[in-house]
Amino acid sequence: MLLLVTPSPPASPSSGLPDPEKVVQDMTGVCTKDPVCSTLVGMFDNAAWAPIVASAVVIVLIVVLAFVLRKVAHKMITRLVLRTAAKSSISRRFRKGAATDSIDALLHERRKQRAETMGSVLKHIASIVILGTAVLTVLDRLTIPIAPLLTSVGILGVAIGFGAQELVKDFIAGMFMLLEDQYGVGDVIDAGAAIGTVEAVTLRVTRLRDADGRVWYVRNGTITRIGNESQGWSRAYVDVPVAYDSDIVSVRVLLEHLAEELWADPELRESKIVEQPQVFGVEQLSDSSVVFRITAKTLPNEQAEVARELRIRVKTTLDDAGIPMVAG
């Protein structure tokens, strides 16, 4: 039995590497489909090397255009940030005292910080989208198949998404927190897990310091509700218990005069109190006392100081009038 064996062709020394001729043919085919590239080829009198040079020029144009678009996008975002920071959203009904200037300054600073943070995020997103699209376009121009790359990136993204669900949740919660201006640095908030002053805010975590000096790091995705004690204005109130047989009308008149004097105090009016304090009258009745309540609208985080000043003045006023205070 005779076996005929056909000798195999010798292995190419460049086995495993792309064939240069095929690469040139592919780039020529891509170039002929592009009006810009084909126009450049015509300018070079259809020389054999013209498609390569024209493709290189087009790639350079793509890169330059990507950086120009990135620069324009960043300028537009910066302009939007400045415009957002300059807008005033404070209500007209709170503009009744000199202390509202401080509220305006605080709100403007919060708005500026929020806008700058969101601007930074938008700039990063714009850079990734524009430069990523440019890279894929250049790879396509070089006849490098991008379908497997996109498939791999998609699979990797799904895997990372499953492994980093909590991280994604924290970032999304942080984005909405910044957009809605729920709190900012310097605010006193109740985040459920901790109560304290906000020292730092990022898209992932919020750092708080409580009254004992303990620092808390709270992930934004775990915060289900926020109680903000420092947004816009605060309220100080003082309960005044007097003897049950005291003259109710006289006590109320004294407290109203005290509220007017407090409002007339230039130091408090300029830096702490937003509106004239009010006497709500009899707030509570007990077996041994009648409780009046005085309230004052203050700047954020100034309610404790105003309440202390109210207690001192109430005690002095009632002592001068001979009206004793009793335990509630």
pLDDT of 137-179, one tens digit each?
888 777 777 777 777 777 777 777 676 778 888 888 888 887 7
> In this predicted structure, what is the pLDDT of residue 78?
86
Tokens at 257, concatenated:
């005069």
Whether residues 131 and 28 fall in one domain: yes
* Lookup result for tokens 């729920």: 182
Whether residues 193 and 265 fall in one domain: no
Tokens at 223, concatenated:
């915060």
Q: Is the residue at 307 inside a domain?
A: yes
Residue 308 has pLDDT above 70, yes or no: yes
Whole-number Å distance between alpha carbons of 164 and 285: 57
Whether residues 125 and 240 fall in one domain: no
97, 274 contact by CB (below 8 A): yes
Q: Is the residue at 5 inside a domain?
A: no
Q: How many domains does the chain have?
A: 3
User: In the chain, what percentage of residues exceed pLDDT 90?
Assistant: 12
> In this predicted structure, what is the pLDDT of residue 137?
83
Whether residues 139 and 49 fall in one domain: yes
Whether residues 28 and 138 fall in one domain: yes
Any idea what the CATH number is for the domain that residue 269 is in?
3.30.70.100
Residue 105 has pLDDT above 90, yes or no: no
> In this predicted structure, what is the pLDDT of residue 67?
92
Q: Is the residue at 32 inside a domain?
A: yes
Closest by CA position to 181, among listed 236, 107, 102, 273 = 107
Whole-number Å distance between alpha carbons of 197 and 226: 13
Other beta carbons within 10 angstroms of residue 177's beta carbon come to 19
Q: What tens digit of pLDDT does each residue of 89-98 get?
A: 444 444 444 4
Whole-number Å distance between alpha carbons of 112 and 127: 22
More confident residue, 239 or 29: 239
Find the domain containing 186 and state its range: 178-228
Closest by CA position to 143, among listed 19, 11, 276 = 19
> In this predicted structure, what is the pLDDT of residue 1?
40
Q: Supply the DSSP symbol for 93.
A: G
| Band of pLDDT at residue 107, cut at 50, 70 and 90 | low
Whole-number Å distance between alpha carbons of 47 and 192: 73
Residue 10 has pLDDT above 50, yes or no: no
CA distances to 2, 11, 139, 166, 193 from 179, in Å: 84, 63, 37, 20, 22
Whole-number Å distance between alpha carbons of 243 and 276: 27
User: What average pLDDT does the segment 213-240 reach?
Assistant: 87
pTM of the model: 0.54
User: What average pLDDT does the segment 72-77 reach?
Assistant: 91
Whether residues 191 and 259 fall in one domain: no
- For the chain, strand residue ranges (E) read 188-190, 195-201, 205-209, 215-219, 227-228, 234-243, 278-285, 289-298
Q: What tens digit of pLDDT does each residue of 231-262 get?
A: 778 888 899 999 888 888 889 999 999 989 88
